[in-house]
Every structure is written in structure tokens, then in C-alpha cells.
Amino acid sequence: MHNSAPINRRKSTRIYVGKVPIGDGAPIAVQSMTNTRTTDVDATVNQIQALERVGVDIVRVSVPTMEAAEAFRLIKQRVNVPLVADIHFDYRIALKVAEYGVDCLRINPGNIGNEARIRSVVDCARDKNIPIRIGVNAGSLERDLQEKYGEPTPQALLESAMRHVDILDRLNFDQFKVSVKASDVFLAVESYRLLASRIDQPLHLGITEAGGARSGSVKSAIGLGLLLSEGIGDTLRISLAADPVEEVKVGFDILKSLRIRARGINFIACPTCSRQEFDVIGTVNALEQRLEDIVTPMDISIIGCVVNGPGEALVSTIGVTGGHNKSGFYEDGVRQRERFDNENMIDQLEAKIRAKAAMLDESKRITVNLIEN
């Protein structure tokens, strides 16, 4: 395992979305959002369960109508992961999903309407221990702020967020988190930096409307990478015009890359060249798919030849270094006598990785038992 200096995280207050802690040093929670019709209960439940299988911590579901609120009640009964209801204006929907056990309300208090409506939602959230997410988005900035600043700027996004924050402050409600998203990386990053210096509550990170799977992942990795490496951010959602399952995988990949949160396998693979002794790309692609169910943190290096193979293998949980017909196999940085047939690389590696994951899980279980007893 490579050593790296730990990131000093910004100090923040703690909220809970269901049982998932956010802020105050809690693991950075990875979120996604369903893109099925919420009224299609089976499709939405299936998508949430697919997200759970890849490790999502929290799922947001849009609830635009009372009909969707009724569907939300049924969905909530069938899934385990905490659910955030995305509500834009209608305070009655917020009250309804609160009754149905929602774990967090994504609603901007300034958009709810008159004081009585705001109070009814905030009082309900307080009574039921439901946190609120304030979500400011450069694409839907208030008209007066557009006119004041001429365009969405970091200061404009901050001012918008603080309007909602001030409402909750005035009502003495502090169980909230805030996002200030933009599709422009620099605008989002600077907005979050400003916000981080103004409030103590947890921050929900995202580059909104980031794009398709590839371009959106790159933008998100740059924007969130900058912020996370500065210690800013307590939960995140990668917004992709793609299957939401990809959002979760990319979110974990960003956290793994920064060594902030480990989950599953961190693959290290060379780009390949004419020196490769086995099919590196085919092996990595196959193993990424086959080993999606592994949650044990492991570094696995798959390198095509001895130029870089031994060096990477030394700092990996399991490493393979391409050789003629047979390839070198390393475990915990130690070269093993056993070698892999290049022809049968994928099956052999899968078996080794699964065995190693089971062993690591077992030793962790024994350690936890010893500590608890």
C-alpha cells in the first residue's frame, strides 16, 4: 500500500440521514439518484437495489407530485438504504413524505412560500429528526441574483445558499447540509470554497449536469478531487447522464484515488505496449466486472511485463507481472513460487483475489471480536 499524507478535513457539524452519519469526520457518503418514474414503484425499487449492490450509502428519489409521494411510501417499505426526497416547491409533499418515513428532505426553505408553510416543514423535520438539504444550482439561480451578478458567479451561489441557511438559522434548525452545484468546474469549486468558510454544516458535493459517463466522470473527478484534497466535502453525488450505478462506482473511484475511503478493489494496470506478455486490457476489464461484489479494500496490480510489474507488485495486495508463457505472482509484496499460465490468467487471478478477500475479511472479523470482548 502506498503511503500518503492524510487529508485534513474541514471541521463540520454532524447530521444523520437515516443511520448514515454525515460530517464531523464521518466517512464521506456516496449518493446517487434514481432516474425511473417514481410512480413506477417496481422499477424504482429495482434501481435502488442495484445501487445498494454497488455500495451506495444514500439514494435520492424525486417526488414531484402527491401521486409520487404515495409511490414513495411503497418504495420506502421495500428498501433498506436511506432515502432523500427531492422536492422543489410543494410543502405539502414534504409533509407527506415525512409521514412516510423519509430520511432527508431536499428542499430549499426560500422556495416553500410563506412563513407558515416554511415553519410547518421545519417544525415537522425537527419533530421527526429529518435533516434538510439545501441545494443551490447555478442553472436555477434566483432572477434577482442573476440580475445583480450578471451571471452565476461563486458569490451569487453563495448568496443564494445563505438566504436559505439564514431562514433555517432564524428558525433555530441546524440539521442541514448544503450544496452549491454548477456544471462549470471552476464555478462549483470556488462556490464550495466560499461556502466552506461561511457555515459549519456538512457540504454535499457535486458537479451538476456534468455530462455523459466519460466526460462527466472526468469533470467530477477534477472538481471533487480539488475540493476533497482541500478537506472540503462530507458527502457526494456524481451526476452523470448514464446509469446511476455508474455514479456510485465513479464516486467510490474518486474517494479511492484520494485514499479517503476504501471500498473494493483498486486496480492498478499498465496501458500495455508491445512488451506485454498477456492480455492486460482483457484481464482488467473482465476482472472489474467479475469482482464487482468484492467490498474488501485491496490494491491489485496487473502489469504486462517486468519493466514496471515488480515495482507495482511490491506495494499491492496481489500483483501479477507478465512473463513468457507464465507470469509472476506476488502476494502482499512478496514474490510467490507459484506462477500463472498466461492463457488462463483471468480465472487464476479471480480465484486468488477472492481467496485473499475472504482471508482479509476473516482476520478483520477476528480482530473486531477480540476488541469487543
Q: Does 282 bind ligand SF4 (CB under 6 A)?
A: no
The reply to whether 275 sits near ligand SF4 by the rule CB under 6 A is: yes
Nearer to ligand SF4, 252 or 329 (CB): 329
Q: How far is the CB of 322 from ligand SF4 (least distance, A)?
A: 6
- Shortest reach from residue 264's CB to ligand SF4, in Å: 23
User: Does residue 6 touch ligand SF4 according to CB under 6 A?
Assistant: no
Environment class of residue 338 by beta-carbon count within 10 Å: exposed (0-12), middle (13-18) or buried (19+)? exposed
120 binds ligand SF4 (CB under 6 A): no
Answer yes or no: is 124 a known binding residue.
Answer: no
Closest approach of ligand SF4 to the CB of residue 278, in Å: 9
Considering CB under 6 A, how many residues would be counted as binding ligand SF4? 11
User: By C-beta, is 86 or 312 nearer to ligand SF4?
Assistant: 312
Q: Among candidates 20, 7, 6, 8, which has minimal Cα distance to 177? A: 20
What is the layout of strands, in order, in the sheet containing 298-303?
265-269, 298-303, 318-321, 326-331, 334-341
- What is the rounded CA–CA span in Å between residue 223 and residue 206? 8
87 Rama sector, left if φ>0, alpha if ψ -120 to 50, beta otherwise: beta
Q: Which of 116, 147, 271, 370 binds ligand SF4 (CB under 6 A)?
A: 271
Question: Is the separation of the CB atoms in 302 and 271 below 8 Å?
Answer: no
Shortest Cβ distance from residue 311 to ligand SF4 (Å)?
Answer: 9
The reply to whether 99 sits in an annotated binding site is no
Q: What does DSSP say about strands 326-331 and 318-321: parallel, antiparallel, or unpaired?
A: antiparallel
- Name the residue whose CB lies closest to ligand SF4: 304
**Minimum distance of ligand SF4 from residue 325's CB (angstroms):** 15
**Sheet with strand 204-205: strands edge to edge:** 176-181, 132-137, 104-106, 83-86, 58-62, 29-33, 235-237, 204-205
Q: Which of residues 290-309 bind ligand SF4 (CB under 6 A)?
A: 303-305, 307-308
Q: Is-contact 329 300, C-beta < 8 A? A: no
Of 79 and 281, the one with the shorter C-beta distance to ligand SF4 is: 281
Closer residue to ligand SF4 in complex, CB, 57/277: 277
DSSP codes, 13-32: --EEETTEEESTTPPPEEEE
> Taking CB under 6 A as the rule, does residue 49 contact ligand SF4?
no
**Which member of 46, 120, 146, 276 binds ligand SF4 (CB under 6 A)?**
276
* Residue 104 counted as an annotated binding residue: no
How far is 212 from 217, CA to CA, in rounded Å? 8
Q: Which is nearer to ligand SF4, 6 or 271 (CB)?
A: 271
Rounded Cα distance between 234 and 220, Å, is: 15
Amino acid at 152: P
d(CA 308, CA 276) in angstroms, rounded, equals 11
228, 270, 346, 357: residue in contact with ligand SF4 (rule CB under 6 A): 270
Q: How far apart are CA 180 and CA 217, in angstroms?
A: 18
Burial label for 35, CB within 10 Å (0-12, 13-18, 19+), is middle
Question: Least separation, in Å, of the C-beta of 268 and ligand SF4?
Answer: 11
Question: According to the binding rule CB under 6 A, does residue 315 interact with ligand SF4?
Answer: no
Q: Determine whether the annotation assigns residue 305 to a binding site.
A: yes
Interacting residues toward ligand SF4 by CB under 6 A: 270-273, 275-276, 303-305, 307-308
Annotated binding site for [4Fe-4S] cluster: 270, 273, 305, 312
